[in-house]
Structure formats: C-alpha cells, structure tokens
C-alpha cells in the first residue's frame, strides 16, 4: 500500500458532519427561527390583506404615523422605527452569530468554512448580476441591484422544518451557515452603498458609547452573564446611544446593531482558549435576545414592510411585468441556486472540496433553491433603494413575495422527495439492526 503523501491538502467536505457542540447550538437556533418564521409569514399575510382591503387607508396611516424627538432626528414613522430600530435587534444577533462562528464555531477552521463562505458569495453575486442585466437600461431601477442578494433564514428554516423532518442536520447547518455569511455581505452592502450623507461629528461621538460598551462587556463579561438586570441597566443604554448617533451620522442604524454584537466577547474568560471554556457572554445574549428578535422585532418589521397595495389582478400583472419585480424574481429563483450550486460544484472540480459520500448533488440543489427565499433584508434593501411607498418599492416587494413563494414551492418539490428517501433509509436501517444495536451487515454469518 502506498503511503499517504506527507503534505496532501486538507479537503473541505460539503455537508460534512460538524462538531457535536456546533450541532447542538445550530439545532437550538433552528428551532427558535422556525417559530419566528411562522410569525413572520403570518405578519406579512395580515399586512397584505389589510393593505388591499376596503380599510387599507388605516393601514397606511398607521405605518406612516410619526413619533419621536425631532431635534435628535428621531421623529420617524412607525414603519421607519421598525426598519431602523427593531431590525437593529435582528442585526445585533447577526453580529453575535458571525463573531461566534469565526471565533469559536466550525467556521474558524478554513477547511470547514471555505465551501459555505464561497457558496454564499456566489449566491450574492449571481442574483446581483441577473437583476442588473434585467434593469440595465434604467439607471433608476438599477439602484435596487442588492435587493435579491439576501436569504431570509427564519422563513427558509420554517419551510425546511415543515418539509424536511427526516433530512440530515448537515443540510440545515449548511443553510444556516450560508445565511449567516449572506447577512455579513448584506450588512457590508448596506453600510457602503445605502447610507446617506455622512455626518462626521455624530459618527465620531458614537465611538465613545461604543468604546464604553465594548470595555464593560469585555471586562465584566462574567458579571453581565450572571446578572440580567445589570446588562439591561448598563449596557442597553450605551447601545441605544450608539444606535442613535450612528443613525444621525447617515450610516444606516442597523449597522450599529452589528457593531454592538461584534463587541460582545465570545469566550467565557480571556484565559480560555477554545469553545469548550463554557458559555460566553455572546451565547448568553443570543439566548436572551433571539426570542425578542424572532418573536417581536422581525414580525413587526414584516407587518409594516410587506403591506403593498397591489391594485387587483391588473395591478399585480403590471407589477410582475415590470423590470424591478421581474429582475428580483429571476435573481432569487434562478440566480441564488445557480450561484450557490455553481460555486460548490466548481470547488469540487478544483479539488478544494468534495461532496460527503452520504449526500447527492440534488441535496445541494434543494438547499440552494431554499436560499432563494429573500424576505427581511430584501424588504429593507428595497426601501433603502427606492424609498418606502414608492412605485418601484411596491414592485420590488411584489417581486420579493412572489419569488419567495416560488422558491419555497420549488424547494418543497425537491426536498420532499429527498425527505421520503432519507426516511425510507432510516426505516431500512432500523429493520436491519440487531437487538444489540449493531447492523446485521456487520455480524458474522454462517
């Protein structure tokens, strides 16, 4: 037998088994996001029905009702408060997840992170290119190129939970990892391409409470982990001030949520050297804030953002035939799976990764289709691109809702078939197992 080459490269495995701790953590996140996804869909349906009912004026009056303190540039409509304020909680969690993944999660290992990270970039680039090609003749609508780049993890996981009870956990982990990296790219796009006129003074002032927040969270991580009230009374006010100053600076306020998430320590103590050091403050904050994000913040945002007055079948047909909605639909339904699937396949052909032997490429395709469900961040980018309530914004939202529904249906058709096959394999394995738990194929036979 030939010995293994001494310096053979470590190959990534698509859908390979993650660490046990990571699998448990991801499973808990997915259970909570499933509930959040159901609430999100319910809020969006209520908004759509109300916005197209005889009482539609009351919906838009509620969405546009302004509250807040004008001298601090905080007299905003309820819809703007949901987009700029409540979504900051969602992005705070994104910051926590990203930092934990790259500091103590499986993504800190290059051979495990290269495939989902590359696939996420492919899943952002391909939709942006497709949308741009459809809207190339119109500079006004071309501004929405980033609308179809994001995957809504709550919506996608809710669909996966319904259709994939027997699908391997590796599929769910891959989808969540894609969405987490996808969110990082979306945050960068929002910060660089969709911020207003930059005001230097508020931005510089924001560094003061942010620095104080970072110092206290790092220095007294154990204290804030044990005393919930202390975090609310000390860290939360600093976070709110940071958010308000970032909002006044012209940078979209949700970026403040990400920065605050990055400031939270992941490891339990500075002397700890790995993920087994116990739950750090980032993990504790995830437990505390995820129900608020998934159960309150994101559904309320969906309620105020998804309400589009379609105007009957004629209005719906007009919206769907326009370049904005058409570009969004093609980008999410076609661009997402092409970008993700194409990137993963290309990596296997360049010998940097290989598909786990227990999976097939149809599994990758099903997850890639599911990633075409764009909702929360896509709705936000649509408002940032065209302004809430504008004709292009309404057409973009029609496209987002239509594409998300199509992506969910197509993914269901593919993954339900695979789910039945995995279920049959589980049943066969149980029938082929002895009372001692060892499959018969490994027993001695006469």
Yes or no: say if 161 and 30 are a contact pair by the CB < 8 Å rule: yes
Q: Number of folded domains in the chain?
A: 1
Residue 251 and residue 187 in contact, taking contact as beta carbons nearer than 8 Å: no
CB atoms under 10 Å from CB of 245, counted, come to 24
- Kindly state whether residue 255 falls inside one of the protein's structural domains: no
Measure the CA–CA gap between 39 and 339, rounded to whole angstroms: 29
Return per-residue pLDDT of the chain as tens, 446 residues: 455 455 444 455 555 555 545 555 555 655 566 677 788 888 888 988 998 888 889 999 999 899 988 777 788 889 889 888 888 898 898 888 878 877 876 666 666 677 778 888 999 999 999 999 999 988 889 999 999 988 877 777 778 777 766 677 677 777 877 877 887 888 888 888 887 677 889 889 999 999 999 999 999 888 888 888 999 999 999 999 999 999 888 888 888 998 999 999 987 655 444 444 556 888 888 888 888 888 888 889 889 888 887 766 666 777 888 899 999 999 999 999 999 999 988 888 776 666 666 677 888 888 899 889 888 888 888 888 888 778 898 899 999 999 999 998 999 888 888 777 777 766 665 665 544 555 444 444 44
Q: Which of 355, 396, 354, 390 is nearest to 375 (CA)?
A: 396
Kindly state whether residue 268 falls inside one of the protein's structural domains: no
Q: What is the pLDDT of residue 71?
A: 78
- The 3-state DSSP class for residue 291 equals helix
* Pairing mode of beta strands 12-14, 66-67: unpaired
Q: Which pair of structure tokens corresponds to residue 50?
A: 């109300």
In a domain, 321, yes or no: yes
Q: For residue 341, what is the domain's CATH number?
A: 1.20.1530.10
pTM of the model: 0.77
Task: Answer whether 386's CB lies under 8 Å from 393's CB.
Answer: yes
What's the length of the chain? 446
- 240 falls within a domain: no
Structure tokens at 53: 């009912």
In a domain, 443, yes or no: no
With respect to residue 353, please indicate whether it lies within any of the assigned structural domains.
yes
Would you state the pLDDT for residue 313?
A: 67
**3-class secondary structure, 243:** helix
At 165, give phi and psi (nearest 5°).
-65, -25
Identify the pLDDT of residue 32. Answer: 60
- Residue 380 is part of which domain span? 18-194+281-422
Cβ partners under 8 Å of residue 65, min gap 6 = 77, 78
What's the rounded Cα separation, in Å, for the pair 49 and 56? 9
For residues 422 and 429, the answer to whether their CB atoms sit within 8 Å is no
Cβ count near 398 (within 10 Å): 23
275 falls within a domain: no
Tokens 């940078």 correspond to: 251
- Identify whether 407 is part of a domain: yes
- d(CA 139, CA 9) in angstroms, rounded, equals 46
**What whole-number distance in Å separates Cα of residue 203 and Cα of residue 209?**
11
């Amino acid at each position: 037998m030939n010995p293994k080459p001494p310096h053979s490269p470590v190959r990534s495995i698509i859908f390979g088994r993650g660490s046990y701790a990571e699998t448990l953590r991801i499973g808990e996140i997915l259970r909570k996001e499933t509930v959040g996804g159901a609430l999100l869909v319910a809020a969006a349906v209520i908004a759509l029905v109300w916005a197209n009912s005889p009482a539609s004026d009351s919906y838009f009056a509620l969405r546009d009702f302004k509250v807040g303190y004008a001298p601090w540039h905080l007299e905003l409509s309820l819809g703007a408060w949901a987009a700029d304020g409540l979504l900051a909680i969602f992005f705070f969690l994104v910051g926590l997840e990203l930092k934990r993944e790259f500091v103590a999660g499986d993504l800190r290992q290059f051979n495990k992170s290269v495939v989902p990270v590359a696939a996420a970039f492919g899943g952002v680039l391909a939709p942006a290119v497709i949308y741009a090609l459809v809207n190339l003749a119109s500079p006004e609508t071309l501004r929405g190129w980033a609308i179809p780049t994001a995957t809504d993890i709550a919506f996608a996981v809710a669909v996966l939970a319904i259709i994939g009870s027997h699908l391997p956990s590796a599929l769910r982990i891959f989808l969540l990892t894609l969405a987490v990296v996808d969110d990082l790219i979306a945050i960068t796009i929002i910060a660089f391409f969709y911020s207003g006129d930059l005001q230097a003074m508020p931005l510089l002032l924001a560094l003061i409470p942010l620095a104080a927040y970072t110092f206290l969270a790092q220095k007294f991580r154990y204290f804030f982990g044990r005393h919930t009230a202390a975090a609310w009374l000390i860290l939360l006010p600093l976070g709110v001030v940071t958010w308000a100053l970032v909002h006044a600076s012209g940078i979209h306020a949700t970026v403040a949520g990400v920065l605050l998430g990055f400031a939270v320590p992941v490891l339990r103590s500075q002397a700890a050297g790995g993920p087994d050091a116990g739950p750090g403050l980032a993990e504790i904050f995830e437990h505390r804030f995820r129900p608020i994000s998934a159960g309150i913040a994101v559904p309320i945002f969906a309620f105020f953002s998804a309400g589009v007055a379609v105007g009957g079948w004629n209005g719906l047909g007009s919206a769907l035939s326009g370049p904005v909605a058409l570009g969004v639909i093609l980008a999410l339904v076609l661009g997402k799976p092409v970008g993700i699937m194409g990137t993963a396949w290309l990596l296997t052909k360049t010998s940097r990764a290989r598909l786990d032997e227990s999976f097939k490429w149809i599994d990758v395709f099903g997850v890639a289709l599911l990633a075409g469900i764009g909702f929360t961040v896509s709705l936000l980018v649509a408002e940032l691109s065209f302004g809430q309530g504008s004709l292009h914004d309404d057409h973009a939202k029609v496209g987002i809702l239509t594409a998300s529904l199509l992506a969910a249906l197509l993914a269901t058709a593919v993954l339900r078939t695979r789910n039945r096959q995995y279920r049959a394999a589980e049943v066969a394995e149980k029938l082929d197992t002895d009372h001692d738990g060892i499959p018969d194929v490994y027993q001695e036979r006469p």
